[in-house]
Amino acid sequence: MSAARRGHRTRRWTAGRLLWRRARTRPAATVLVAALVLLSLIVAAAVPRLVERQSAAELDYQLRSIGATARSLQGVTDYRSLWPTEPPPNADQLYGAIDQSLKLERLDYPEPLYSAVGEPNWLVQMPRFKLESRNGAPVDLGLQLTAAEDYLTRIRIVEGGTPSTWTESEADLEELEREAAEREAAAAGEPGEATSGATAVAPIDILVSTSSATAMGLKPGDLLGASAAANADPEVPVTPLRYRVSGLYEPIDKGDQYWLQFADLLPATEILPYMARPYLSTAAFVDPLTIGRFTRSLDGAKTRLYYPVSADALNGADPDLLLRQLSTVVSLGITLPDQAGQLNLGTRTDDAIEEALARGRTLAGLLAMLAAAPAGVMLAVLLLGIQAVVRGRRSDLVLAAARGAGELRLRLLMTLEGALISIPAGVIVTALATLLLPTEQSAVGFVLPAIVAVAPPALYGLLADSRPDAGRTGSLLSRLRAVAELAVVLLTAASLFLLIRRGLSTSGQAVGVDPLLSAVPLLLAVTVGIAVLRGFPVPLRGAVRSARGRRGVEAFVGSIRATRVPTLGLAGVLALVVGLSIATFSAVMLTTFDTGIERAAAESVGADARVDAPLLTADELDAVTQVDGVEHVAGIQLVGPRTLGSGDSDESITIVLSPTAELGTLRTLPARLDAEQDGRIPVLLSDDLKEEFTEGSSAIVSGQPLTVVGFLPADSQLGPTHGWILVDSSFSDRMSVQFSPSVLLIGADPALLPQLKAPLEAAVHAGAVDQGTVITRSSVSTVPTMTALRKSEPSILGVRIGLGAGALLSVLLCSITLVLSTIAAGRERGRVAGILRTLGLPRRRLRSLIAWELGPVALVSLLAGAVLGLVLPYIVTAAVDLRPFTEGTAPVAPVLDPTTIVGVLALFSMVVLGSGIVAVAIGDRIAPSTTLKMGSS
């Protein structure tokens, strides 16, 4: 009976109640540990998902940036006719089998490729040939017959009608020709009676785009003639036939990818034949059945096709899988039915994926480097926090052990306490992360939070110690501290050496993330932390000496305690050093990145703003100068290639013509270039020509004597990247050209620059959108728009977010550490404080004691952290080429912006100060009775 009652009482005192009581006794440390665990969990759950989303975004960006045309799977092959000419083939014979096989081919594609690849679009195009006459009058035009079964669904006929099917046959034509030839032979000697076979057959109806018709002067009803003799390319078999323009068309949707993919369908193209006059040529639709009537002319005909590839459908796809699928598709090509041949497919999607993967690798290396230090600190602080909690529980555990609780049981209890903090939080955080940051569910996003959630309970159980004296393991570890410190210092030296020697990007491309190289910032921070811990007692001893002579015991005791039992410990110092160094580093790197991007943007623009156009009219030039905010406009015309002669060498160069007075406001030009010098035209050369020419040397271009008055960097964004000479536009007639710029460099009012793009676009697009013949595209770029564009790139955004998050996390960790360290050191200090209180020290002066313990080491740590933070960017930029991110030509060097740095330091110091005050406030709440009692026991 009594045994049963005892049992009942014992049960009442187990687990739950004990835990609850414990949780209430010293909540501060537990709350902080809980906060830390929560923070770690959030980071562990969010970071892998963010990284995954970042790579998905990068892939998406790369796929979008190459454009739909480059993305598509496209191919060209010979078009072979596989049908008898009699009876005339039907549409199914001509198109059905090929269309079916192209569509079936796509059905075999595996996911995710299948969803991304759209229905095939294809057409048949005959070789281009020359027309000889229009309505009897000789002309100089080219024609390329095109047939697509579905062409009428894409166009709108604006004039005339649809082309009708040609019912003759090229085979018959040969017969006619032969007969004509025979007649000719029979009627030899009677000139004028010979008839050409071509005149005996009906003309072929063709449909021409309105823009080509305008450019080539074609209108519905025009009768065009071709002959074999007129053909420029003897390889192309041409049957002397006649063509009738049945109508003119316009695309229903000009923005349809179809017209971009088959870019030569709409505009007239200028053909520049060798040793002959240039002429305009166009593609023209014929009735789909018409090509079935050709025999000979089909010899050079091509089947052109593309499958659109949607970037949307590939968003979030596994790039490696995609790459494999694409290479299979490209390797296999398409076997067309009935021996119609083999079609090889090509695409630039795989290049884009590879580029995204390469960028991802470099970014992963960089992010790993950025994350290593805060992650290390987080681990250290977590350990510190759990240690503080476990230390707080030690007396309970010793008591429980003395009352007969088994060690395993006690450890399990502590594990349970840890689990109560982390496991529910882990589940909630992971669930939230899964909801808020949906990704393609890679395992890391679950494994990492699981590890973080399991670690605290495990540490609680491991660190719990119920033995009355300090454990042997602990004493051995403390004695091995020197060895560990030496190891860290050596490892730091080795990794730093290797980082400089190998470089992060080269090794990154070779092996991915090298943990040793990525850990450099962390190792450096730990080394600096060790140096601080080992080094700061030296000046403090001086403080001890000076405190001896002074009144008040707290300075003396505080400074002595600071050297003997550093409150902060390695974890605390590390947190401070890493916190500040990462904050400073991040600030400097952000400035560096932004500066790099801005510089690269300015480099690519070449001025404040830039207009590139095929041709700029005088009106457009005027319109540009009238735009509000435009201060200087320097037009540039490129002429060349020309030969620059200097007696013993000839260089092929491009002449850059520009009004140098205007250009001088945008570039530093070494000399006046608009006036002749001794009868010679003064010119500036690109500096890659320095080997052949020196300042003052003479040269000849287009028969004009020149004198070299200086050099400019080859990459001055004036047009060509090497081998050019700058000549003032006033000498354009001497260069045998009329000055008509195609590039405008614009100097603008800085205040109005951000809003300059739209009005400039309006100014140059007004007359240049579609001149009827050729689609021309003028483009306007300004430094702010280019910068914004670059900054919105996923990888840049990733780096910026990484830097910002790293800084924020470091500051948070830092402040938690300060508080935790004070709590952890509370027991040790409590004993001294108890004695001091017993001796009559007022409680408020205890704060001064804590301040003495915290202050010096914090100050030294902050100093060291700041210095490390300023040094790290130099190490990182030396080892990592940031140009893949920022672009631009010059290597990116750290940019130290004093305002930012001072701001960061001030902010950080304030946070530390605030944390210090909290720490002091918690630390001085010590009842001397408790500590003394425990101490005496």
Partner 1 sequence: MLALKRLRPRAGLFLALFAVVLLLSGLAVGLTGYLSVAGNAGARTGLAALSGNDGGFRIITPLADGADAEAQDERIRAAIATLRGDGRALPVIVSRDIATRDSVSLESSGSAASPGPHAVGVTIASIPDLEGRADLTGGRWPTSPDEATLQADAADRLRIAVGDVLALPDGTPMTVVGTWRVRDPDDPRWLGEGSMLVGRPLLGSPGFLVIDPALWPSTGVVPEARWTVQPDAARVTAVELSALRTASDTVGAVIRAGEETPGRIVQSGRLRLSIAPIERNVRSTAAVATAPLIVVGVLGLIMLLELARVLEQLRREENALLRARGTTDGQFELWAGAEAAAAVVPAAAIGSIGAALAITAIGSPTDVSPLGWALAGVVAAVAIGAVAASAGRESRDISRGSAPRGMAAQRARGVVGIGAVLLLVLAAVVAVSQFLLYGSPLVPTADGGVAIDPLAVSAPALAIAAAGLLLVAAFPLAARAIERIADRLRGFRFLPLRQLARRSRAALTSILVLAFAVSGVVFAAAYSGTWSAGAAETRAVRIGTDLRITDDGGIPAEVRAPAPGQTAAAPGLSTDGQIGDSGTTIVALPHAAIGAVVATVAGAVDPAELGNQLSDADVRPSLPTDATGVRVGVTSTRAGDEPLELRILLSDSSGSLRELSMQRTASGYTADLPASDGEPAGWTLRGLRLELPAVRVGADIEFDVTAIGGAGGDARVRIEGRWEPAPGPLANPSAKSDIVGLHAGRLGVHAAAGDPGGSFLLVLAPASGTLVPIVISQGLASSSGLEVGAEPVVTVVGSGGLPAVVVGISPVTPGSSSGEGILADLATFQDGVLRANLGTLSANQWWVSTDDVDAAGMAATAAAPIGVEVETRGPLEADLVLGSARVVVWIAAAATAALTLLSIAAGLLTELRGRRGEVGVLRSLGLNRHEQGITRALEWGVLLALGLIAGIVAGGLVSALLVGSLARAAVPGAVPGLLTPFRIDPLEGGAALGLLALALAILLLGTARAVSRQADASVADGSRG
Task: List interacting residues with partner 1 (CB under 8 A).
Answer: 78, 80-86, 171, 295, 298-299, 324-333, 335, 339, 342, 344, 350, 476, 479-480, 482-483, 486-487, 490-491, 494, 498, 500-503, 506-507, 510-511, 514-516, 648-649, 691-692, 694, 697, 879
Instruction: Name which of 97 and 420 has its Cβ closer to partner 1.
Output: 97
Report the 10 Å Cβ neighbour count for 591. Answer: 18
Which residue's CB is nearer to partner 1, number 3 or number 483? Answer: 483
- Pick the closer one to partner 1 by CB: 333 or 754: 333
The two three-digit tokens of residue 853, written as one number: 């313990």
350 vs 594 by CB, closer to partner 1: 350
Closer to partner 1 by CB, 78 or 674: give it: 78
Q: Is 742 left (phi over 0), alpha (psi -120 to 50) or beta?
A: alpha
Residue 117, SS3 per DSSP: strand
Q: At its nearest, how many Å lie between partner 1 and the CB of residue 81?
A: 6
Closer CB to partner 1, 171 or 737, in the complex: 171
CB 482 → partner 1: shortest distance, Å?
A: 7
Which residue's entry shows tokens 């030009």?
669
CB of residue 324 to partner 1, shortest distance in Å: 5
DSSP structure string for 16-34: HHHHHHHHHHSHHHHHHHH
**What is the length of the chain?**
937
Instruction: Kindly report the number of other CB atoms within 10 A of residue 43's CB atom.
Output: 21
Backbone torsions φ then ψ of 629, nearest 5 degrees = 105, -20
Question: Measured from the CB atom, is 329 or 818 closer to partner 1?
Answer: 329
Q: What crossing angle do the helices spanning 569-605 and 794-824 adopt, rounded to 10°?
A: 160
Specify the 3-state DSSP secondary structure of 875.
Answer: helix
Indicate the residue among 57 and 301 with the shorter CB distance to partner 1: 301
Cβ 648 to partner 1 shortest distance, Å: 6
Residue 32 CB coordination number (10 Å): 21
Least CB distance from residue 129 to partner 1, whole Å?
Answer: 18
State in angstroms the smallest separation of the CB of 438 from partner 1: 29
CB of 478 to partner 1, least distance (A): 10
Nearest to 109 by CA among 325, 313, 337, 323: 325
Quickly list DSSP for 280-299.
EEEEEE--TTGGGG-SSGGG
**How far apart (Å, rounded) are the C-alpha atoms in residues 176 and 191?**
19
- Give me the residue label for tokens 């006690």: 410
* Rounded CA separation 776/260 (Å): 13
Nearer to partner 1, 263 or 484 (CB): 484
Residues contacting 652, CB < 8 A, separation 6+: 640, 641, 642, 643, 644, 723
828 or 881: CB nearest partner 1: 881
Please report how close the Cβ of residue 559 comes to partner 1 at its closest, in angstroms.
29
**CB of residue 104 vs partner 1: minimum separation in angstroms?**
14
Q: How far is the CB of 867 from partner 1 (least distance, A)?
A: 25
46 close to 452: Cβ distance less than 8 angstroms: no
Smaller CB separation from partner 1, 167 or 838:
167
Q: How far is the CB of 506 from partner 1 (least distance, A)?
A: 5
601-604-609 Cα angle (round to 5): 80
DSSP letter string over 436-496?
HS--S--THHHHHHHHHHHHHHHHHHHH----SSPPHHHHHHHHTHHHHHHHHHHHHHHHH
